[in-house]
Amino acid sequence: MLQDTPSFLAYWRNARSRTVRVLEALAPEDLEWAPVPGAFTFGDLFRHLAGLERFMYAENVRGRPSAYPGHGVELSGGLAAGLDGVRAYLDRCHAESLALFGTLTDADLLAPCVNPAGASMATWKWLRAMAEHEAHHRGQLYLMASLRGRPVASLFGLTEEQLAAASKTKS
């Protein structure tokens, strides 16, 4: 269970910063690239994460229905186009969401909220689902960056090779 709102907010800021590393590694020509026709592009994924955080998860935990606008480049009249536009949209949605999440009390975390499918669950579980959703798409983003030849900083400080080398020297 999420212990309290301040610890969740700190965790969530860190989790999002790991996702943003991919956006920071992209070149402008990467943004609307997809690994196969019809798949989400980098831009689609970042707009999707931003929109869901703000307009679904943050709304649902405040007792309101989802208002998810979608993930297309036409979002906000084109304001979420280009690397700068996507970053601004991601940052704005994240800041607004953090402000809404910050109003939750510890009792609110235990109280039920209703997701868009109509299922009721503890608010902390819905926030955990948001984190799992982010991790799912972060994996896609890292793989896509690799396919584009864009190196992204490792998630937790060591590459797999560095971990293996460090493990051998300590055994």
pLDDT digits (tens, 9 = 90+) for 27-71: 999 999 999 999 999 999 999 999 999 999 999 999 999 999 989
- According to the model, what pLDDT value does residue 171 have? 62
Residue 152 has pLDDT above 70, yes or no: yes
Q: Which residue has the tokens 């969740």?
A: 8
> 58, exposed or middle or buried, with CB in 10 Å at 0-12, 13-18, 19+?
buried
Report the distance separating Cα 116 and Cα 53, nearest Å: 13
pTM exceeding 0.85: yes
- Residue 104: its pLDDT value, please? 97
User: Exposure of 60 by Cβ count < 10 A (0-12 exposed, 13-18 middle, 19+ buried)?
Assistant: buried
The CATH homologous superfamily of the domain defined by 5-170: dinb family like domain (1.20.120.450)
Using the Cα atoms of residue 28, residue 81, residue 51 and residue 3 in order, give the sign of their dihedral: positive
Decide if 101 contacts 54 (C-beta within 8 A). Answer: no
Looking at residue 142, its pLDDT comes to 95
